Chains A and B, each alone.
Chain A
Amino acid sequence: MNNTNNIDAYRRKFLMGVAGTATAITIAPGLLLRQAGAKAPGDEISNKNRWGMLIDIDRLPNGGQTVVDACQQEHGWGHEEESNDKQKAQWVRTVHVKEKLTGHEFDLPVMCQHCETAPCADVCPTGASFRRKDGVVLVNKHICIGCRYCMMACPYKARSLVHEALFDQKPHSPRGKGTVESCTMCVHRIDKGQLPACVEASNGAIIFGDLNDENSEISQALKAKGGKQIRADLGLNTGVRYQGI
């Protein structure tokens, strides 16, 4: 009986696909382009997309501190009253780098790099750390047990554990004691077709887009000028790339 249902569902899907393609061709080619990028809130995510960010550190306002503040404002982290500085949540931080040979100095914001082969998801004993189909690496806090294996596995030190009971969380960004958290690439925004909070605050220094779509702004920018991964030697194929480092 189940099999019959599956076959019916398959037929329906196939027929709708055929009808859909026909309509798309007859309406307008422009419409298809828009459909490929943005997603309506009710749609499921798709592995056709891979979301990424390209950060031009030379154009970042205030050495990157502006985007850190924007993230903090959006998600409400960093105000843990009972935690010491090492325990406090930090989803994104600015790192100061000096090259000894040349004396060249710069700041860059470092957060979850949304790796294709994410070490955090590899080591998670409960499956709470996972990579969404569209490339965003998240923690499912409903099943996170707070063991912090992922924090040790992450080469970017991108994750934090919440050490205390919290209150007044943002409705779009649930956070709680005993769970690990990190940059979510603002999934609550991109699922509705909006830009992440840091990208909006970056004054054009951060490009957000689909790495799988060769016509997207981010792919074009990467093609034109390239973009570096930090710790590229680890071969993690990160979703966050940098220019100017």
Chain B
Amino acid sequence: MFGKVHNVLALAAIIGLTALLTGCGDTAPEPRVETAKAKAEHCVEPTDVMRRNHMEFILHERDETMYEGVRSSKHSFKGCINCHVPASDASGKPVNYLTADHHLNPEHFCATCHAYVGVTLDCFECHSDNPEGAAPSDSTHAALNGGADHE
């Protein structure tokens, strides 16, 4: 008798948990690492460290480069982009961090998570969002200067 109740409870718990996990899978995006995986075996730091601290690394490197002229650190911003952003998508166009209608483009490695958590991504207002040697993007970006503020 008790066994049956336990079984039913366990079953309910499993169904509930599965539903919860499926729900998470639908909303929280996974950053796309295929591009980087094809170029290097592993990142400059373990994944969990990068997820939590990437902004600290970039900030530290930023001041060292700006004031001390150090340009070889493994935490280089250009290095992130070169490895993680593909030179072009399947149709041969560059992958920009904004879409033509000024929203963060979830196809861009950085924008995937930043769009989900709603954290501004202003690095690319000055820095290139594409790897070195990528093709220039088409004129849709000119729309950035036409009226409405992006984001």
Contact = CB atoms under 8 A, between A and B. Distances in A.
Please report whether the interface of chain B is mostly helix, strand, loop or mixed according to DSSP. loop
Interface stretch (B20-28, B43-51, B69-77): B69-77
Interface of A is mostly: loop
A164 B145 contact: yes
B40 interface: no
A167 B96 contact: yes
A188 B128 CA distance: 15
Interface residues of A, number: 34
A177 B125 CA distance: 7
Contacts of B131: 171
User: Most chain-A Cβ atoms within 10 A of its Cβ — which of B73, B81, B127, B130?
Assistant: B127
B128 A45 contact: no
B141 A134 contact: no
Contacts, number: 73
B128 A191 contact: no
Contact of B78 (A130, A167, A172, A179): A172
A81 B145 CA distance: 9
A169 B66 contact: no
B99 to A, nearest CB: 13
B126 A141 contact: yes
A142 B62 contact: yes
A32 B143 CA distance: 54
Interface of A: 39-45, 81-82, 130, 132, 134, 138, 140-142, 164-172, 174-177, 179, 187-188, 191-192
